[in-house]
């Protein structure tokens, strides 16, 4: 198998005072009260944190490439505040490996976006190295990825899909700017001979989480030599259309 993903997650910390109160006032079981506590008091922060880490987590796995393992397909890095959990040995079940790293959440939320990216990269690398040491992987590979992300100034931009025009004069690509608090997906059209960009049009702006934007990206199709469409993957009637100006179609 291959290491296909790395996740960074916040632990759920139960608010005992709130749980006890709703158990009494709403006649809930402890389990029901905990679920309500999560949905009312924790969920939004967990979703926000989960979105913010994806730009660096995605960049890390992309730069890592096809890393073959015999043990795991995903490393779940759990961010905790309890020092005792850091003593836990990595555990793997059904191809998922659980590790723990320490985080100061109060400080994290106050940081600028670039400083948050630095913390995210540091915590991802800490968690990955725990797994690497546990499984006796070559650590130099992960050190290379860590350094390359720093060298890139924590910028994650990449091409998602490409398609040549029917007359082979142009090529179109979906280009993704994946940042900590947004994703922007643009249609870029280039001259095939020179690679010169002749048009760039923003199509989608949204949450920086692949589960949010990847399902929108269906077929990329030229419907003429000067017009290309992107069809929503599941809502087939929804399309984005990009047209070249007449003077742009000649070379």
Q: What's the 3-state SS for 100-159?
A: EEECCHHHHCCCCHHHHHHHHHHHHHHHHHHHHHHHCCCHHHHHHHHHHHHHCCCCCEEE
Looking at the structure, do residues 110 and 134 belong to the same domain, yes or no?
yes
Looking at the structure, do residues 21 and 114 belong to the same domain, yes or no?
yes
pLDDT over threshold 60, residue 166:
yes
Looking at the structure, do residues 109 and 222 belong to the same domain, yes or no?
no
Give 179-197 pLDDT, tens digit per residue. 999 999 999 999 999 999 9
Of 151, 169, 189, the position where a domain reaches its end is 151
- The DSSP bridge pattern shows strands 96-102 and 74-80 to be parallel
- 86 against 128, higher pLDDT: 128
Looking at the structure, do residues 161 and 147 belong to the same domain, yes or no?
no
Looking at the structure, do residues 43 and 119 belong to the same domain, yes or no?
yes
Of 97, 130, 151, the position where a domain reaches its end is 151
Looking at the structure, do residues 13 and 91 belong to the same domain, yes or no?
yes
Of 105, 123, 151, the position where a domain reaches its end is 151
Looking at the structure, do residues 116 and 51 belong to the same domain, yes or no?
yes
Q: What pLDDT was estimated at residue 184?
A: 97
Q: What pLDDT was estimated at residue 250?
A: 39
Total domains in the fold of the chain: 2
Looking at the structure, do residues 145 and 29 belong to the same domain, yes or no?
yes
Give 17-66 pLDDT, tens digit per residue. 999 998 999 999 999 999 999 999 999 999 999 999 999 999 999 999 99
Spell out the residues 6+ positions from residue 201 whose beta carbon is closer than 8 angstroms to its own: 186, 187, 242
Task: Give the tokens for residue 95.
Answer: 């191809």
Looking at the structure, do residues 103 and 193 belong to the same domain, yes or no?
no
Looking at the structure, do residues 29 and 91 belong to the same domain, yes or no?
yes
Q: Which structural domain, as residue segments, surrounds residue 45?
A: 5-151
Q: What pLDDT was estimated at residue 251?
A: 36
**Which DSSP string do the residues of 177-240 spell out, in sequence order?**
EE-SS-EEEEEEEEETTT--EEEEEEEEEE-S-HHHHGGG---EEEEETTEEEEE-SS-TT-EE
Contact 146, 168 (CB under 8 A): no
Looking at the structure, do residues 140 and 78 belong to the same domain, yes or no?
yes
User: What percentage of the chain exceeds 90 in pLDDT?
Assistant: 86
Looking at the structure, do residues 130 and 50 belong to the same domain, yes or no?
yes
CA 248 – CA 82 distance, rounded (Å): 60
């Amino acid at each position: 198998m291959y290491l296909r993903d790395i996740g960074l997650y916040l632990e759920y910390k139960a608010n005992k005072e709130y749980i006890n109160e709703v158990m009494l006032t709403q006649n809930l079981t402890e389990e029901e009260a905990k679920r309500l506590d999560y949905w009312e008091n924790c969920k939004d922060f967990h979703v926000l944190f989960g979105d913010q880490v994806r730009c660096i987590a995605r960049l890390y796995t992309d730069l890592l490439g096809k890393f073959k393992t015999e043990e795991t397909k995903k490393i779940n890095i759990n961010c905790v505040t309890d020092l005792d959990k850091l003593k836990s040995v990595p555990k793997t079940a059904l191809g998922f490996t659980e590790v723990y790293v320490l985080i100061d959440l109060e400080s994290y939320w106050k940081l600028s976006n670039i400083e948050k990216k630095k913390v995210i990269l540091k915590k991802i690398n800490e968690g990955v190295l725990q797994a690497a040491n546990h499984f006796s992987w070559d650590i130099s590979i992960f050190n290379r990825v860590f350094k390359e992300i720093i060298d890139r100034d924590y910028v994650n931009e990449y091409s998602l899909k490409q398609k040549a025009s029917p007359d082979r004069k142009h090529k179109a690509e979906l280009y993704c700017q994946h940042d900590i608090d947004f994703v922007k997906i643009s249609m870029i059209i280039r001259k095939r001979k020179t690679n010169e960009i002749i048009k760039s049009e923003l199509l989608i702006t949204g949450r920086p989480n692949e589960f949010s934007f990847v399902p929108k990206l269906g077929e990329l199709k030229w419907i003429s030599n000067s017009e290309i469409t992107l069809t929503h993957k599941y809502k087939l009637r929804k399309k984005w259309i990009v047209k070249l100006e007449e003077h742009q179609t000649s070379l």
